[in-house]
Amino acid sequence: MRMALLLAAAALAWGQAQTPAPFSKRYLEVKEYPDAENQAIVKQFHELRVTDIVDGLDVVGLQDVTVMDAGIAPLWRDGEKFKHRIYGVAVTLRIVPPQERAPNFASHEEFAKWESHWYRTRIPGDFSKHLQPDTILVIDASRTRDVGFCGSNNAFNWFNMGTNFVGLGMYPEAATAYDQARSIGLPWRMLWYQFGPFEAYLAVGRYQDVIALAQANLNDGGGQFVEETYYYAALAREAMGERDRALNNLNGAISFNPNFTPAVEARDRLLAGG
């Protein structure tokens, strides 16, 4: 695997925070290969299956060396023609937390200006020179997992994709997109107003996930005032055969909002034995 590792940092000398060192960025040394050589290597993988590669590595004593973690899987899978299979020269971008600390500002406006300038000038984009056709960009952000590294827009993009899939009736794809959004992190009040994840998970039979989302809403300091919280939990309970608990949830939704028609209709249906 050919890798380009990027380090970006602005170091502050220990005990000398008042005179921070200038911002710097540097690349670990990377061996460059001619494009023609890269293309020739990639071409050799064109007709090969994954199992062919693994078998070949076994023969030369590289068992398990390049086997991916089982948790890494394509978001879309073509079970007939396997068009989701990819191959190419890997370029790894390693993102590490900066050591530069934000100064203290008198107002949020001043901070926002500093933050905007920081992202425009501190986040390098020149690693793109290592990217060519058939390149696979691998982002190693393991050291930033607690705070994220690409911003909340990624989560919102995945969430919007899931909502679009729900609108198209493509519920498995929607559930996958919502999983990605949740793994990145969403605002804690998101599911007070957006209910696509409930609908997607219900449609694919992930009832426990629906209940978990509803419970999280109930515990976040405001979701207990959202009738949909009880409504979707009720639908999951009903699907699991828990009729009485479903009725309790529906009554909770109706007690909060007697005009919430979906809950009223679902309750009446359950009471009628439907």
Supply the pLDDT for residue 20.
54
Query: Is the pLDDT assigned to residue 12 strictly greater than 50?
Result: no
Half-sphere exposure of 66 (CA within 13 A, CB side): 16
- Domains of the chain listed by start with CATH number: 6-46+87-144 (no CATH), 152-271 (1.25.40.10)
Instruction: List pLDDT tens digits, range 234-268.
Output: 999 999 999 999 999 999 999 988 999 999 999 99
Torsion, CA 122, CA 124, CA 125, CA 129, rounded to 10: 160
Cα distances (angstroms) measured from residue 5 to each of 99, 121, 141, 250: 18, 19, 11, 54
Give the confidence band of 214 by pLDDT, cuts at 50, 70, 90.
very high
Contacts of 251 (CB under 8 A, 6+ apart): 267
230 and 262 in contact (C-beta within 8 Å)? no
Supply the pLDDT for residue 9.
36
Q: Is the model more confident about 15 or about 94? A: 94
Instruction: List pLDDT tens digits, range 100-156.
Output: 777 888 888 888 778 767 765 666 555 667 777 778 877 776 665 555 455 556 788
CA-CA-CA-CA torsion sign (198, 201, 207, 212): negative
Longest dimension (CA), the chain: 75
Query: Is the pLDDT assigned to residue 69 strictly greater than 90?
Result: no
Helix (H) and strand (E) counts for the chain? Answer: 10, 4
DSSP 223-246: GGG-HHHHHHHHHHHHHTT-HHHH
DSSP 253-264: HHHH-TT-HHHH
Q: What whole-number distance in Å separates Cα of residue 143 and Cα of residue 146?
A: 8
Q: What percent of the chain has pLDDT over 70?
A: 77
C-beta neighbour count of 90 within 10 angstroms: 13
Instruction: List pLDDT tens digits, range 178-204.
Output: 998 998 888 878 888 899 999 999 999
31 and 119 in contact (C-beta within 8 Å)? no
Query: Is the pLDDT assigned to residue 99 strictly greater than 60?
Result: yes
Query: How many residues are present in the chain?
Result: 274
Supply the pLDDT for residue 7.
37
